Amino acid sequence: MAPALQQFANQMGDQVKVVKIDVDKNLALARLYKITGAPSVMVFRKGEVKFRQSGVLSAGQLKEAVQPFLPK
């Protein structure tokens, strides 16, 4: 999923902040957000989870997932 994530980050520029976290090295964070499968995608807005999905997503699917939460 790394190439799609990079493509998405490049497309979105400063509109979003993309953060990749290794849940094997950050078990507490994985537990906090109840992440049971990798890859998992989460969209936060003002610290609140607005979208989450496990599995591989394309750059287009990622863009579609965040679009409703971008400032208009």
Name the CATH superfamily, with its identifier, for domain 2-66.
Answer: Glutaredoxin (3.40.30.10)
How many other β-carbons are positioned within 10 Å of the β-carbon of residue 6?
A: 13
Can you give the pTM of this predicted structure?
Answer: 0.83
Per residue in 6-28, pLDDT (tens digit) is 999 999 999 999 999 999 999 99
Alpha helices in the chain (DSSP H): 2-12, 27-32, 59-66
Per residue in 52-66, pLDDT (tens digit) is 999 999 999 999 999
